[in-house]
Amino acid sequence: MSAASLGGAFRTMLVRDLLLAWRRRGDAMLPVLYAIIVATLFPFALGPEHALLARIAGGVVLVTVLLAMLLALDNVFRGDLDDGALEQMLLAPQPLSLLLAARMLAYWLVTALPLLLVAPVLAYMLGLEPAAQPVLLLALLLATPLLALLGIVLTALTAGTRRSGMLLSLMLLPLAVPIVIFAAGAVGAAQQGLPWVAPLAWLAAALALALVLAPLACATALRIALDT
């Protein structure tokens, strides 16, 4: 397997996924809209008290982004499984982990990147202090790829099943707890004017590890789930 053909396969997958997302660009916009709407629901459910909203703004934005990413996760392999494209990927000569790495990158680009763009707006609307805003963005920048990597590994595990995204939430959310805690910890510290670098450093370390391990774990998970 030459390096050129490896690169070619990676590019093929990435282009394919981005093309599919583009053909369904309405769908690609939806996590963002979902996040906006959920974040808007909170003032309705809690009443428009400003101090309260500002206090919970960071946390609400984090949870909202997490849930929006979760919703889109369900479809990462669903389509390819239903039409047999996943089988073709398994049977292709390229290493599966390489193809999956392309899949992960595409997922992050399509789902998380737009969320990162609206997150500051949502935080502003809920009244997060300006000082905490860059920290929130930084936290999301580290937390979203981590969630994407972890989430896709778990989605791969459920690929053989016909379950809804619910099972996925059940599996992902306990594993996402540390991510949420560290991200929220950084934002909370910034809100109170305390140092906030330490929790983000933890997230960065975890991300570095996940970048290496997740494609391999994902390939293993997929082969287990599809019994090959």
Partner 1 sequence: MTPTLASSTPPMIEARGLGFARRDEGVFGPLDFALSGGGIGLIEGDNGSGKTTLLRVLAGLLRPSFGTARVLGAEPGSETAREGTATMGHLLGLKADLSALENLRIGMGLYGHKPTPGPFAMLTQVGLEGYADEPVRSLSAGQKKRVALARLALLPARLWLLDEPYANLDRHGINLVNDLLTAHAAAGGAALVTSHGAVSFHQGVTCTVRLAA
Partner 2 sequence: MNAFKLWYHKLGSPPYFYVFAGYIQPWLWTIALLLAAVGLYGGLVLAPPDALQGDAFRIIFVHVPAAWMSLFVYGVMAVSAFVAVIWRPKMAEVLAMESAPIGAAFTLIALITGSLWGKPMWGTYWTWDARLTSELVLFFIYLGIIGLYHAFDDPRQGARAASFLAMIGAVNLPIVHYSVVWWNTLHQGTTVHYFGPSSIAPSMLWPLLLMTIAAKFYYGASLMGRSRVALLSLERGKDWVADEVRGDTAHG
Q: Which residue among 33, 117, 208, 213 contacts a second copy (CB under 8 A)?
A: 33
C-alpha 116/C-alpha 194 separation (Å) is 24
- Distance from C-alpha of 95 to C-alpha of 91, rounded to nearest angstrom: 10
Give the one entry of a second copy, partner 1, partner 2, none that residue 83 binds, where binding means its C-beta sits below a cut-off of 5 to 8 angstroms depending on kind.
partner 1
Which candidate, 135, 165, 167, places its Cα nearest to that of 62? Answer: 135
Give the number of C-alpha atoms closer than 13 A to the C-alpha of residue 224, restricted to the C-beta side: 12
Q: Minimum distance from CB of 115 to partner 1 (Å)?
A: 23
The site for partner 2 (CB under 8 A) is made up of 26, 29-30, 33, 36-37, 40, 43-44, 47-50, 53, 124-125, 127, 153-154, 157-158, 160-163, 167, 170-171, 173-175, 177-178, 181-182, 185, 188-189, 199, 217, 220-221, 224-225, 227
State the binding partner of 2 from a second copy, partner 2, partner 1, none, CB within 5 to 8 A by kind.
partner 1
| Cβ 127 vs Cβ 60: under 8 Å | no
Which contacts qualify for 205-212: CB closer than 8 Å, 24 or more apart?
A: 206/146, 206/178, 206/179, 207/142, 207/145, 207/146, 207/149, 210/145, 210/146, 210/149, 210/150, 211/145, 211/149
φ, ψ of residue 206 to 5 degrees: the values are -60, -40
Structure tokens at 16: 């394919």
Number of residues near partner 1 (by CB under 8 A):
36
- Looking at the Cβ atoms of 144 and 169, the one nearer to a second copy is 169
Which residues in this chain contact partner 1 in the complex, by CB under 8 A?
A: 1-2, 4-6, 8-9, 11-13, 15-16, 19-20, 23-24, 79, 82-95, 99, 162, 226-228
Which residues in this chain contact a second copy in the complex, by CB under 8 A?
A: 24, 26-27, 30-31, 33-34, 37-38, 40-42, 44-47, 52, 55-56, 58-60, 62-63, 66-67, 71-72, 74-75, 82, 163-167, 169-170, 173-174, 176-177, 180-181, 184, 188
